[in-house]
Amino acid sequence: MTGTYRSILIEEMRKRQRKNPAYSMRAFARDIGVSASRLSELLNSKVGLSDSRATIVADRLQLKGKEKAFFIDLVQAEHARSKLAKKAASERVKAYLLDAKKISDDDFHLISDWQNLAVLELVDIPGTPHSFSAIAKKLGISVAEAEATVARLMKVGLLKEEGGRWVVSDSDSTTTADVPSIAIQNYHRQMLERASRSLSVDPVESRDLSSVVFSLDSTQLAYAKERIREFRRVLSQELAGMPSKDKVYSLAIQLFELKGDEA
């Protein structure tokens, strides 16, 4: 489930572009009742939406009931003029997200290997051949692994077959946050190992691995984590909405206390 109203707009535009490759940002701006320049500024967080404009956009998107209220609450949580209104909207957003669909840890055990999420992204790239051999070649895995991966994704309902092609059926699912899970730990461990491999074999112009060391008030760690999550969500949604995708990447941001093994 998305965490910003901009993410909802980007995802909706992306869906329309998948149905019609000629569908442009200008067309989307027209359809939701804003100018193309305004939409560009909006998606780049340079401007926001008023309550009245949020209602108009929600209606243009044909959002109904809880979905419409959620969209407007997201806008108010960011742009409401009073702190009280912002807080109230934020609380309603949190309540809505608690009810949002999540992948259970049992299901995540089936998809905790890195290639599963990579396949979900890969089959969504326009022009990607939908065959086990093509997936295997693109991701550097065996054909047998590609077959097993697709089977797992279909078993948990994240992938379905339509007209001889695989279609992502639930792109908004998330895992639990801040809850220990062997499956989730395994996934992150694999991604760190692949980042280490990229550091050794990929040219510097095709990767970005960096770190910074700084001190902070440990009571502000929750705030730092939320800012990182928000950055990750916004960036991934923005890039996902852009055309001409051809490869699958992983973005990993690590924030942890530096201490020795005996600490």
What burial letters (b/e) apply to 117-133, b meaning 16+ CB within 10 Å?
bbbbbbbbeeebeeebe
Number of residues that this document lists for the chain: 263
Tokens in use for 227?
């800012």
Q: Specify if 156 maps to a domain.
A: no
Is 83 inside any structural domain?
A: yes
pLDDT of residue 33: 92
Provide the whole-model pTM: 0.50
Q: What is the CATH number of the domain that holds 86?
A: 1.10.260
Domain region containing 41:
5-98
User: What pLDDT, on the 0 to 100 scale, is given for residue 174?
Assistant: 56
Average pLDDT along the chain, 263 residues, taken 10 residues at a time: 75 84 91 92 88 93 90 92 90 76 60 81 86 90 89 85 83 52 73 85 85 83 86 83 83 73 50
Task: Choose among 71, 79, 85, 86: nearest CA to 32.
Answer: 71
Separation between Cα atoms, residue 122 and residue 39, nearest integer Å: 28
Does residue 47 sit within a domain? yes
Q: Considering the domain boundaries, does residue 32 fall inside one?
A: yes
How many whole angstroms separate alpha carbon 107 and alpha carbon 199? 31
Distances in whole angstroms, Cα of residue 25 to Cα of each of 42, 43, 98, 198, 233: 12, 11, 32, 34, 20
What pLDDT is recorded for position 71?
92
Which amino acid, 209? L
Structural contact between residues 139 and 146, judged by C-beta atoms closer than 8 angstroms? yes
| 248: in domain | no
The confidence score (pLDDT) of residue 120 equals 87
Residue 201 falls inside a structural domain: no
Q: What is the pLDDT of residue 1?
A: 41
Q: Beta partners for 102?
A: 174
What letter does residue 157 receive in the DSSP assignment?
A: T
- Which one, of 151, 85, 143, lies nearest residue 116 by Cα? 151
- Report how far residue 263's alpha carbon sits from residue 259's, in angstroms, rounded to the nearest whole number: 6
Q: How many separate domains does the chain show?
A: 1
How many angstroms separate the CA atoms of 235 and 194, rounded? 21
In a domain? residue 214: no
pLDDT score of 258: 57
Residue with tokens 């692949």: 194
Dist. CA 77–CA 34, nearest whole Å: 21
Residue 170 lies in a domain: no
The residue among 202, 186, 177 whose CA lies nearest residue 114 is 186
Which pLDDT belongs to residue 109?
A: 59
Whole-angstrom Cα Rg for the chain:
20
Q: What is the pLDDT of residue 106?
A: 55
